[in-house]
Amino acid sequence: MSKIKKDDRVKVLAGKNAGREGRVLKIFKEKDTALVERINMIKRHTKPGGKAGQQGGIVEKEAPIKLSKLMLVCPKCSKPTRVGIRVVETKRARYCKKCSEQLEN
């Protein structure tokens, strides 16, 4: 079970975007990275063409960021926190280590 999941609010701990918060769009388990909304933006130069008649130019999009640089923001106490896992009714559930509140699964 991953401690950070899609649609979680996270805070960036290190790098050029340190201190910024965003929502997780996608998790790449095999590479241990995540796409975070409006964080780690890159510019991609694209050619025109393709089946859809795509327009060329410079496209700005999110690049993956390592999970070790992200910390979950608790929805209850609104603070960046470590995540614990406890067993509730034979299921594993995530909880905030600061306020002990269970995170929705």
- In CATH, what is the architecture of 9-48+59-96? Roll (2.30)
CA–CA distance, 72 with 36 (Å, rounded to integer):
12
1 pLDDT higher than 70? no
CA–CA distance, 15 with 41 (Å, rounded to integer):
12
- pLDDT given for residue 32 in this prediction: 96
Range name among 22-36, 43-57, 70-84 with the lowest pLDDT average: 43-57
CA–CA distance, 18 with 101 (Å, rounded to integer):
26
CA–CA distance, 69 with 57 (Å, rounded to integer):
31
- pLDDT given for residue 55 in this prediction: 87
pTM over 0.75? The answer is yes
- Length of the chain counted residue by residue: 105
**Structure confidence at residue 104 as a pLDDT band (50, 70, 90):** confident
Stretch 60-70: mean pLDDT: 96
Can you give the residue ranges of every domain in the chain?
9-48+59-96
Stretch 69-94: mean pLDDT: 94
